[in-house]
Amino acid sequence: MARLDGRTVLITGGAGPDMGSCLVGYCVEAGAQVVAVDASEPNLAKLADKYPSVTAVQADISQAAEVDRALAAAPAPVDILFNHAGVSEKISVVDEVSEEDWDRVMGVNLRAPFLFCKRVLPGMASRGYGVIINTASVSGLRGARGGAAYTASKFGVVGLTQHIAATYAGYGIRCNAIAPGGMGNKPKPHQRADHFTERGRELLTRDRDKPALAPAEQVASVAFYLATDEAVRVNGAVLPVDGGWIAY
């Protein structure tokens, strides 16, 4: 495993039972100081029991003051930022999405990455080093892969990623994104009766024969690679980690 000795890493959604906690484990094993930010206090407590060295912060990262509080808890300036936290509404089309769901999804999926990036980029630039990895989705590469709000938010993450890569590379900063397909030990969306509207179901009928859901650690390992010096020439990439979903 590549090393991250001396690096301070902040991971949003870091206590999630799938990829978030995997990322925390990889970074701890690589020697980094890790800050895990998550909305779930029970998940954070479990994470802290497993990794006592991790700084665990419960926060609503859609709020600027909460972002500032999370960053203030870091033991040193953040060198590597994983914007991983994300939420979704039901898989549905635009006229079915409530304004409340739209704002909630955009707040966590797009506003929060913007807020964290806005705050860490000046320090990264002054030190001449920084790495940002954003979790996008195959829904951010093609339409009709998820709910309207989720899809729009992930397209926004892709745009934010490529803008940062294009404008901060000269400061020694790399910014990339991964675009997972299905992940985790859960039913596929089309198998979950509570996860879509009837019109949303139609969007996903073509996904029935796609590759199986990926174990979270397989997706997390790709994100971890992008954080290491082994990926020093990778910047502005949006890397599908989907087992071929978007090829179908």
The three-state secondary structure class of 240 is strand
CB distance 154 to 133 below 8 Å: no
| Catalytic residue selected from 26, 51, 129, 150 | 150
Count of all residues that appear for the chain in the document: 248
Question: DSSP letter at 110?
Answer: I
171 annotated active-site: no
Query: What letters, b where the CB count within 10 A reaches 16 and e where it falls short, cover 55-89?
Result: bbbbbebbeeebbebbbeebeeebbbbbbbbbbbb
Which tokens sit at 118?
A: 């806005």
Tell me the C-alpha distance between 148 and 232, whole Å. 34
List active site positions. Answer: 150
